[in-house]
Each structure stands twice: as C-alpha cells, then as structure tokens.
C-alpha cells in the first residue's frame, strides 16, 4: 500500500515557518516545559511523519506534538491504529453542546494552568471568545510574576489552536470581530513573551500576525499595543529613531481614544528612543507627557496594561537616565521604582534590581551595586527573563573587571552557582 504524505502537518509547519530542525527543537523544549524527562527528537523523525512512513508517532512524541500545535494528533494528519481510544483526556462541552478535547498547557516554575479549548466543529459563540480572553489574562498574570521565557511556546500553540477553531467552525459577525481581536491579542502576547525570552525574530513574526488580525478586527488600540511592543524591542536593539517612529505612529493612530495608561506607555517609549540618540530635551518632554497621562489613569485597566503604573514609569525614567549617562539619577529612580512596585510583579522586581545594580556600579557605588546584584540573584530561580538575565550577566562581568575584592568574589561565586 503506497504511503500517504501528511499534508496537514506540512501545511501547519509552513504557516508557522517551521523547518524539520526547528520543529524537532521545539518538541524537545516542550518536554522541558511540561516538566518531563528530556526527550530526543531528530529532524529525521519529523521527516518520517511528513512522508507518511510513520502514521502514528510514539506516545512521547505524539503528546509533545499536540502540546506544540494545540491540537489532537488526529487533527495533525496522523491516523490512529485500529481500536485506539483517547480515554485519558477528559471531555469538555463547548457553548453549543459539542464535546471537545480539553487542552492542558503546563508552565514551569511551579505554576500550572489549563487553557480552555475551543470546538473543532459546530458554532462558536461569545462564551468561547470569553474563554480565550480568560486565557490571555492567565498568561499575562504568569508573565508579570515569572517572565515570558517559558510562556512563548505555550502562547504560540494556543494561537494555532484558536486559529484552527476559527477555520473549521461557524460564527456570526459580532463573534467574528471579537475572535479576530482575541487571536490578535494572543499573537501580541506570544510576541512579547518571545521578546522577553530574547527571541527577537520569533517576536517579530508573532507581532506581524497580530497586526494582521488587528487590521481584520479594525482595532486601532490593538495595533497601538503591538507597536508599543515593537518600539520597546527597537530600544533594546539600540534603534532609538525606529522606536520613536513606532511609538509616534501608535499615538497618532489612536488620538484621544486610548487608555491613559497606554498614552503614558507610548510617551515613555518615545522618551526612551530619544535617550538612545542623546536628545535630552526631547526625552524630558516625552517623560513629562507620560507623567501627565498616568495622572489621568483610572484604577481599572486591561490585563496586559496592569504593569504600567508609577513604578513602571520610574523604571523607564531610570533607563532614559542610564542611556544619557546620568547614573546617579538613574539609580535613584530605580530605588523609587522598587518602592512603588505592587506585589505580583516578580519579573519587574528582578529587572529593576538588575538596573539598580548596573546604575550604582556606573556611578561608583560598588557596595550598593553588589547589594542590588545579590537581590537580583535571589530572584533568579523564580524569574525567567533572558533579556534581563543577560544584563545581570553583563553586570557580573563588569564586577570582575573592576578587580578582585572579597565582596566581588562572594558575588561572583553566588552568581555562578545560580546560573550553573
């Protein structure tokens, strides 16, 4: 009997721009995210699935495929053996009563969430979109606490799951607009998590998808949100003028309709871009506008914007001062940010301690710098933010360059033990 190629899996890989090698790597990473023993997946395994040589992967590989793509293996083009029953996965009922598989995505760091499934057939309703919005809120709560490095793959798999439901189900016009917006928000979040994990190309790919869905939903606020993410990435890459351009487009397109917190965030992005190009007066003007906007902000806001408060703005001012060489001012702003930071923002606490350590060292306050460095090391086990972990690594290297002292040696020993 001739082999039948797995075109479904091939198409899914093409849409996500996955090569054989990249999918194999993603599956190995997913095993670690799920808290399992390391699993070896080679590109040749993927080749056999695509060619039809293997029509039903081994359990250990099949479960990873389902986690990465957010769909049962049967929907990935695989054919179960005769008599196979999926008896270990509980069934859930969709809004129209259709039984669907419930997908579980496990996040590391001791936290676990179950993201709700959508049906693969039938009709989607507002309740289904509400479930997706709840999932987005869950993901951002974990990001605020632990960082985004371990969330990027989970969010990406969930995007694919929701996209699949959107392709195979029916829905009305109002649900369609909300569904497009929800997928766009998920893609925006996946991009942010990838960026926090230092995966800039992946972040851009998700943001491009988010912009497309925001356009379909005619949602200028979602576009502005994604441009704010892209502006922050541009700053990290040293592209100050690009960051200013992106943030200004977001400001121009949203006018007076946006949340004051988003206004504050976008003006802070403009300021950060100006600081990278050494424009002190423009930096100061943009920071003043950010401060005025934040004064108008209500207590309640969208989940993804919950981080943007006085502590965030103080931290952004510290970054601007650092870029302009005002290290004493930057250190004081970091101290202010730590005093203002609400509970539940572990990643921002880690980032601010790293920033404080860096600024104190640049200002010649070595003892205070090491104290902040030790506090950052204390947070390393619970925060996975490679972009800020790299800054901590740079700080540790700078401490070593300043010469051997007992205090520096003690920090170096603790840091090496923490990252080993």
**What are 279-309's pLDDT values in tens digits?**
999 999 999 999 999 999 988 888 888 889 9
CA dihedral for 257, 262, 264, 266, sign (positive or negative): negative
- pTM for the whole structure: 0.73
- Alpha-helical segments (H) within 256-345: 260-276, 280-295, 310-323, 327-340
Residue 167 region, left (φ>0) first, then alpha (ψ -120 to 50), else beta? alpha
Give the range among 7-11, 79-83, 171-175, 414-418 with minimum mean pLDDT. 79-83
Average pLDDT over residues 224-249: 97
CA-to-CA distance for 178 and 184, rounded, in angstroms?
10
Residue 188 region, left (φ>0) first, then alpha (ψ -120 to 50), else beta? alpha
Give 32's pLDDT tier (boundaries 50, 70, 90): low
Average pLDDT over residues 100-121: 54
Give 103's pLDDT tier (boundaries 50, 70, 90): very low
Q: Looking at residue 88, what is its pLDDT? A: 40
Q: Average pLDDT over the chain, rounded to whole?
A: 87
Average pLDDT over residues 153-175: 88
Residue 124's H or E segment, with its range, is none
Q: Looking at residue 157, what is its pLDDT? A: 85
Q: Looking at residue 272, what is its pLDDT? A: 98
> Looking at the predicted structure, is the pLDDT value of residue 150 above 80?
no
Token look-up 């539940």 returns 344
Give 155's pLDDT tier (boundaries 50, 70, 90): confident
Q: How many CB atoms lie within 10 A of CB 409?
A: 12
- Alpha-helical segments (H) within 169-239: 173-196, 200-216, 220-236
CA dihedral for 295, 304, 299, 236, sign (positive or negative): negative
Give 66's pLDDT tier (boundaries 50, 70, 90): confident
| Residue 373 vs residue 142, higher pLDDT | 373
Q: Looking at residue 117, what is its pLDDT? A: 79
């Amino acid at each position: 009997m001739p082999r039948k190629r797995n075109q479904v899996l091939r198409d899914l890989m093409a849409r996500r721009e996955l090569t054989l090698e990249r999918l194999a790597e993603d599956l190995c990473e997913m095993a670690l995210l799920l808290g399992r023993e390391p699993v070896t997946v080679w590109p040749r395994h993927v080749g056999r699935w695509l060619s039809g040589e293997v029509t039903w992967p081994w359990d250990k590989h099949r479960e990873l495929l389902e986690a990465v793509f957010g769909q049962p293996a049967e929907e990935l083009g695989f054919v179960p053996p005769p008599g196979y029953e999926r008896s270990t996965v509980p069934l859930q009922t969709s809004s129209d009563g259709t039984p669907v598989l419930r997908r579980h995505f496990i996040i590391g760091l001791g936290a676990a969430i179950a993201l709700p499934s959508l049906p693969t057939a039938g009709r989607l309703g507002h309740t289904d979109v509400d479930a997706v919005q709840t999932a987005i809120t869950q993901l951002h709560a974990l990001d605020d606490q632990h960082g985004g490095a371990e969330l990027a793959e989970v969010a990406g798999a969930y995007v694919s799951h929701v996209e699949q439901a959107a392709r195979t189900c029916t829905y009305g016009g109002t649900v369609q607009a909300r569904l497009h917006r929800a997928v766009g928000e998920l893609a925006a979040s996946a991009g942010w998590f990838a960026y926090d994990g230092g995966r800039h190309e992946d972040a851009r790919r998700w943001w491009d998808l988010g912009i497309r869905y925001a356009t379909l939903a005619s949602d200028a606020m979602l576009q502005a949100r994604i441009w704010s993410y892209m502006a922050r990435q541009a700053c990290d890459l040293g592209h100050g003028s690009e960051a200013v351009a992106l943030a200004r487009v977001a400001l121009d397109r949203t006018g007076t309709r946006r949340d004051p917190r988003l206004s504050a965030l976008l003006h802070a992005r403009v300021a950060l871009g100006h600081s990278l190009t050494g424009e002190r007066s423009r930096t100061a003007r943009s920071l003043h506008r950010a401060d005025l906007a934040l004064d108008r902000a209500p207590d309640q806001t969208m989940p993804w914007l919950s981080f943007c408060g006085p502590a965030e703005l103080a931290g952004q001012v510290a970054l601007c001062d650092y870029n302009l060489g005002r290290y004493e001012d930057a250190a004081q702003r970091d101290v202010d940010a730590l005093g203002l930071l609400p509970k539940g923002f572990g990643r921002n606490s880690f980032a601010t301690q790293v920033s404080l350590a860096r600024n104190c060292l640049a200002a010649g306050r070595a003892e205070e710098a090491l104290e902040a460095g030790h506090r950052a090391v204390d947070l390393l086990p619970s925060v996975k933010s490679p972009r800020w972990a790299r800054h901590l690594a740079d700080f540790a290297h700078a401490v070593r360059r300043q010469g051997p002292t007992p205090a520096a040696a003690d920090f170096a020993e603790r840091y090496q033990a923490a990252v080993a």
